[in-house]
Amino acid sequence: MTIAASTELICFVILSGVIITGGLGVILLRNIVYSAFLLGGVFMAVAGLYLLLNASFVAAAQILVYVGAVNVLILFAIMLVNKKEDLKPIKGLQVRRLLSGGVCAGLLALLIRVDLTTPWPVPGPKAIGEKATERIGEHLFTDYLLPFELASVLLLMAMIGAIVLARRDVLLTDVGTGDSVDQGLIEKPISPLLIDKSKS
Amino acid sequence: MVESINYQIPLSAFLVLASLLFCIGVWGLINSRNAVRVLMSIELMLNAVNINLMSFSAYLDGDLIRGQVFSVFVITVAAAEAAVGLAILLSLYRNRITIDMENFNLLRW
């Protein structure tokens, strides 16, 4: 085994350890802020795996989009809904956890069996290596042009939708003149949409 | 440099890792009571799928790295999903003043 190969192996072992322990921490830790930061660590480790697989463009996109945007968004959401609440104990929570754990373990066993027993045609054709970024660009502007354009429309819709959904309550009068303002469809005065039945 | 994937790591190692991460995500999705943690679990599952796509693209697809293109699309959709999901969560929180998943049972039969 050459030095390069063993380095690759060591990197893979370390990264997968980080991914698995980080993922377990994300779902098991009590403090949600720790979970969010661990999630960032998991995203970075996944980007490291992509580098190991010779995909530098996707690794960079992963770090930019996931660590830079999604994780920060999650942290902001945690900050905005930051309320210490004691969760009411539910009857049969432990049974529920065990049952779903059993189902997940079964799914895991099934997936691992498929992973290990299928005869993958490895080694396949030679990997492309450093020219991957150029090839991704060619794909995006030739045979994947329609999904690419649809993705841009999807991003625009998601942006507008997120803004509309997350708006704070609005002023129904103009701040300067005091006249009433018709805010149209998207803005509405604050009123609880959902009646909390647990209080009554 | 092109030869730098020398198949020291078998493909199934990547696949097993992705399966583990996916199942962790499923368990967290079912069992979390904090709504933000549910969104985090969804992100974990999307990442597991991305690992699968990337490893298939590196080991089996050769010149046509379609798996990488697909994972770029998955990353895009995941970003949109996270934005909309967190906005829905914010407006739910404003209406119900809680983020406990057990209280979001308005549509329960």
Domain positions in chain A are 3-84+92-187
A and B: number of Cβ contacts within 8 A:
271
Does residue B72 form part of some domain? yes
Of A102-106, A188-192, B33-37, the one with minimum mean pLDDT is A188-192
For residue B32, the domain's CATH number is 1.10.287.3510
A126: chain B residues, CB-CB within 8 Å: 2-3, 62-63
pLDDT grade for A99, boundaries at 50, 70 and 90: very high
Does residue B109 form part of some domain? no
Name the residue among A60, A21, A28 with its Cα closest to residue A44. Answer: A60
Does residue B18 form part of some domain? yes
Q: A100 vs A20, A105, A128, B23, B24, CA distance in Å? A: 19, 8, 41, 11, 11
Helices (H), chain B: 11-31, 35-59, 66-96
SS3 A147: helix
Nearest chain A Cα distance for residue B109, angstroms? 14
Indicate the pTM of the whole model: 0.84
Does residue B105 form part of some domain? no
Average pLDDT score over residue span A78-91: 78
How confident is the model over A26-82, as pLDDT tens digits?
999 988 999 999 999 999 999 999 998 888 899 999 999 999 999 999 999 898 887
B49 to chain A, any CB pair closer than 8 A? The answer is no
Report chain A's mean pLDDT, rounded to a whole number. Answer: 84
Residue B5: CB atoms within 10 Å? 18
Q: A181 vs A93, A140, B42, CA distance in Å? A: 49, 45, 40
Does residue B5 form part of some domain? no
pLDDT at position B3 over 50? no
How confident is the model over B28-56, as pLDDT tens digits?
999 988 889 999 999 999 999 999 999 99
ipTM value of the model? 0.89
pLDDT at position A186 over 70? no
Residue A95 burial (C-beta neighbours within 10 Å; 0-12, 13-18, 19+)? exposed
- Number of domains comprising chain B: 1
Average pLDDT score over residue span A105-130: 84
pLDDT at position B93 over 80? yes
Q: Across the interface, do B61 and A124 touch by the CB < 8 Å criterion?
A: yes
Tell me, what's the pLDDT at A198?
56
Question: Do the Cβ atoms of A165 and B88 come closer than 8 Å?
Answer: yes
In chain A, the residue whose alpha carbon lies closest to the alpha carbon of B20 is: A108
B89: chain A residues, CB-CB within 8 Å: 77, 81
The token pair that represents A166 in the structure block? 């997350």
Q: Across the interface, do B50 and A46 touch by the CB < 8 Å criterion?
A: yes
CATH 1.20.120.1200 fits A3-84+92-187, yes or no: yes
Tell me, what's the pLDDT at A87?
74
